[in-house]
Amino acid sequence: MGHTNESSWVPSVTLLVGIGRTGTAALLVGADGRVRGDADMVFEGRPVHPSGAVRHKESGVLSLALHEVEPEVERIVIAGPAGPGSLAAMAPDREVVVAWLIAAPEDAEAVVFGEFFRESGGWKFTGIGEGYASGLAELVTAYGVGGGGSAKSGAEAGAGTEAPSQALARSPWRVLSAQAAPARPAPEAGGPPAPATQPAPAPVAPPVPTAQPAPVAPPFPAGLPHASRPYELVAGWEFGPVFEPFTATGEGERVVRTDGRVPPGPVLVEAAREGGGYFGVFSLAKFGRDDDIIANTTLQDFAGSSVVRAPGDRPLQLRVDARVGNRWALRVSPVAAARHLTGTLSGRGPEALLYTGGAADLRVQVEADEKGRGYVSMAYHEVAGRTTLLTHPAVAVSGTGPLAHTVPIPAGPLLMLFETDAPWTLTVREID
């Protein structure tokens, strides 16, 4: 992913976070910018949060299971002793999702390097680099550690844990004064602590999304095939970044460039076209060559979708090839907005589908296309713990002509990419 800009999306999976040296700590803070109690600070002297979602591992590496963090926790602050270096976060598939250069503030003994915070149901990272001259005692007090919050005490959190005042005395954080600094006023909800003379608010995280329609994206224009399909997120789906959808409409040929709301990673691209003739939609590689195919069809009043990877070094670009006068619309959304495969599902043309059930038998029925033939291909990606698409996904079905076939599929979460130019019906029956 390379160097990360502020407020970059990260996947909601277990991340390994480190700064290349010992002494890192994580503070789990709520909407008021403070910990609920001393147990919300995780470091070498208290290596496991009571929830189990945040852990301090060997060599100062922190494990953050973002998908398991308690809903009361709005932000996870990463701090450590002052010094130049870099903060990196790696996903389970070894993809580096954060690479943040750390500049040591002058006259600082401890530094808040950055934080992970909730937004639109997902997680983002932002770099901070705020220094504390009095060291760790000042830093942790600013976040409410030692302030008698409501979280479990060290004794309640589990055997072998100890109070911060005891554990910190033996940690590499011993660049601080013996006495804790006076407590400062709590920052505004959702914002990082800042010097008392200059508060610095940050975005307040919206609530976790549900399967209900989200009000953040307009539907496709009236009259286009996808107008009846609202933007909504499949509850519990974690693969791919969460963001506000990008939409574009036009006629004929055009290259569409997404704006800054589309982050790097796998994204859903929906395409719809009124009329007939050839219609193609392709993502573009770095030097303008066609890359992934979203649509390549002559279907009348086409509607379809696929998943492509938005690059991290430039905007996602989509090339549309359509007849003059043919109206079309594109929508780029989180993968979690794809249709959910449960029971029986019907469609016409290519589509990206999400499956979250157990191991099952999948009945695939494809009719003849407009020329009396039929083509179908379905590949599935097992996406648990991943941030990128598999290079070689499993192929469930591949054939031509009208088709009626039953295939086994493993337990989800699966991203299923279905390709056909004909009407189809899928029926999934979980295996007891």
Domains and CATH numbers, the chain: 8-168 (2.60.60.30), 225-430 (2.60.120.380)
CA nearest 309: which of 288, 296, 321, 294? 294
Q: Is the peptide bond before 413 cis (omega within 30 degrees of 0)?
A: yes
Q: What is the pLDDT of residue 374?
A: 64
Which residues on adjacent β-strands are paired with residue 310? 265
Radius of gyration of the chain (CA): 25
Distance of alpha carbon 261 from its chain centroid, rounded? 13
pTM above 0.85, yes or no: no
Q: What is the pLDDT of residue 356?
A: 94
Q: What is the pLDDT of residue 7?
A: 66
Q: How far apart are CA 22 and CA 267, in angstroms?
A: 36
Dihedral sign of CA atoms 208, 209, 210, 216 in order: positive
The alpha-helical segments, DSSP class H, found in 94-135 are none
Report residue 253: phi and psi, to 5°: -80, 145
Q: What is the pLDDT of residue 3?
A: 40
Two tokens at 109?
Answer: 């003994």
Which DSSP string do the residues of 182-206 spell out, in sequence order?
Answer: PP-PPPSTTPPP--TTS----PPPP
The separation between the first and the last C-alpha atoms of the chain, rounded to the nearest angstrom, is 41
Q: How far apart are CA 227 and CA 274, in angstroms?
A: 12
Q: Which residues of the chain have pLDDT under 70?
A: 1-7, 103-104, 147-230, 369-374
Q: How far apart are CA 26 and CA 165, in angstroms?
A: 16
Q: How far apart are CA 21 and CA 59, in angstroms?
A: 7
Secondary structure percentages of the chain, helix, strand, coil, to 5: 5, 40, 50
Q: How far apart are CA 65 and CA 47, in angstroms?
A: 14
Dihedral sign of CA atoms 143, 146, 149, 151 in order: positive
CA nearest 217: which of 207, 226, 205? 226
Strands 351-355 vs 339-340: parallel, antiparallel or unpaired: parallel
Report residue 296: phi and psi, to 5°: -155, 80
Only one residue has tokens 């970044």, namely 241
Q: How far apart are CA 346 and CA 418, in angstroms?
A: 12
Q: How far is CA 345 from CA 151, 166, 339, 394, in A?
A: 46, 59, 9, 21
Q: What is the pLDDT of residue 303?
A: 87
Which residues on adjacent β-strands are paired with residue 98? 89
